């Protein structure tokens, strides 16, 4: 069996899959004519810095990874499906990404905080109960949003590639043959999934915000925004810990909601989708091995 990578993950793209290792990444995308195009990239800068392995700091790096690299290749995959006149790039791209991020923060963080604030001011709720209401609404909004967009055909296909990503990683970890037919037999669930991260982040926000007590006016919203990154870092550490201790019965029980939620963000992939995902993973694995060999050769030459 191939040596397992020390760190890797994936992300569904539009008609494609991105696979990331500790040193490289590979994005495989199927063009409208059926051809699979693969782009690779070496991870440098912050990804090779010791901070990338520092607890609680590495979570923020992974968050940047998802927002930065993930959005870049998501845009590349989207543009690959359109004509040159319809490509999203330049100022229009940055404006779209900025608006999407602002809307997401508004819907999932600020709107629930505002409703909780109204319940406290006009319904006479205590700050504790208004904060609990805020957290419950945040969870409902997130699940409802995921369920709703999953009904859209284009997003359903992205969720199919998400399922292909999970099955590919599960097959690799099991040492199975990396063919679409073999990989298709594996589970859609994976404990390191971004969906698990999202649910953990929301649950943490419910607990932490409920403990904050009453905050005057605008500070209720400012504090929520300031705590997004510390909570994201803590959520990452919890996901990392749980995925490394799945042999513990209590840990397996605690991750069940995370695994269950993944059925909203994954679909059973076709063999063609699995072919793309496997191509991305195998290319990333090959690039990891090449990079490791180059690093070892350089070390021997300078020793």
User: What pairs with residue 18 in β-bridges?
Assistant: 11, 27
pLDDT recorded at residue 107: 87
pLDDT of residue 43: 84
Residue found under tokens 């698990």:
196
Among 42-56, 63-77, 80-94, the range of highest mean pLDDT: 63-77
pLDDT of residue 5: 40
Tokens standing for residue 67: 């927002």
Dihedral angle sign, alpha carbons of residues 50, 51, 56, 58: negative
For residue 157, pLDDT over 80 is answered with: yes
Q: How far apart are CA 81 and CA 31, in angstroms?
A: 6
Residues 37 and 166: their CA atoms lie apart, in Å, by 20
Tokens of 275: 């072919």
Average pLDDT on 263-283 reads: 97
DSSP 53: G
Q: Quote the pLDDT of residue 54.
A: 85
For residue 36, the model assigns a pLDDT of 97
Pick from 244, 169, 232, 163: which is nearest to 201 by CA?
232
Report residue 152 as tokens.
């859209």
Residue 234 reports pLDDT greater than 50: yes
Q: Considering Cα of 294, then 18, then 163, then 229, what sign does the dihedral take? A: positive
Specify whether the backbone of 29 is left (phi greater than 0), alpha (psi in -120 to 50) or beta.
beta
Nearest to 134 by CA among 210, 197, 204, 198: 210
Q: Which helix or strand (DSSP H or E) is residue 116 part of? A: helix 111-122
**The predicted structure's pLDDT at residue 277:** 98
**Summary mean pLDDT of the chain:** 87
In this structure, are residues 272 and 99 in contact, taking their beta carbons and an 8 Å threshold?
no
pLDDT higher than 80, residue 62? no
The predicted structure's pLDDT at residue 92: 66
Indicate if the pLDDT at residue 110 is higher than 80. yes
pLDDT digits (tens, 9 = 90+) for 196-229: 888 898 889 888 888 887 788 788 888 888 998 8
pLDDT: which is higher, 29 or 228:
29
């Amino acid at each position: 069996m191939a040596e397992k990578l020390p760190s890797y993950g994936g992300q569904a793209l539009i008609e494609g899959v991105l696979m990331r290792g500790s040193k490289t990444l590979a994005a495989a995308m199927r063009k409208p004519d059926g051809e699979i195009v693969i782009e690779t990239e070496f991870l440098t800068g912050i990804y090779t810095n010791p901070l990338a392995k520092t607890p609680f700091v590495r979570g923020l790096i992974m968050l940047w990874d998802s927002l930065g690299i993930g959005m870049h290749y998501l845009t590349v995959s989207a543009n690959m499906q359109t004509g040159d006149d319809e490509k999203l790039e330049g100022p229009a791209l940055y404006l779209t990404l900025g608006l999407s991020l602002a809307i997401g923060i508004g819907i999932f963080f600020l709107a629930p905080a505002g409703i909780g604030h109204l319940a406290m001011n006009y319904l006479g709720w205590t700050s504790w109960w208004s904060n609990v209401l805020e957290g419950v609404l945040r969870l409902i909004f997130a699940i409802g949003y995921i369920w709703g967009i999953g009904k859209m055909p284009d997003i359903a296909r992205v969720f199919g590639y998400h399922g292909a990503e999970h099955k590919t990683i599960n097959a690799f970890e099991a040492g199975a043959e990396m063919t679409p037919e073999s990989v298709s037999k594996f589970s859609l669930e994976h404990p390191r999934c971004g969906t698990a991260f999202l649910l953990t982040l929301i649950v943490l926000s419910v607990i932490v915000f409920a403990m904050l007590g009453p905050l005057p006016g605008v500070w209720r919203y400012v504090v929520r925004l300031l705590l997004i990154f510390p909570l994201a870092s803590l959520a990452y550490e919890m996901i990392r810990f749980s995925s490394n201790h799945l042999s513990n019965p209590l840990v397996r029980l605690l991750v069940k909601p995370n695994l269950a939620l993944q059925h909203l963000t994954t679909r059973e992939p076709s063999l063609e989708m699995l072919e793309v995902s496997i191509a991305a993973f195998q290319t990333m694995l090959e690039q990891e091995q090449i990079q490791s060999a180059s690093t070892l050769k350089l070390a021997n030459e300078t020793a």
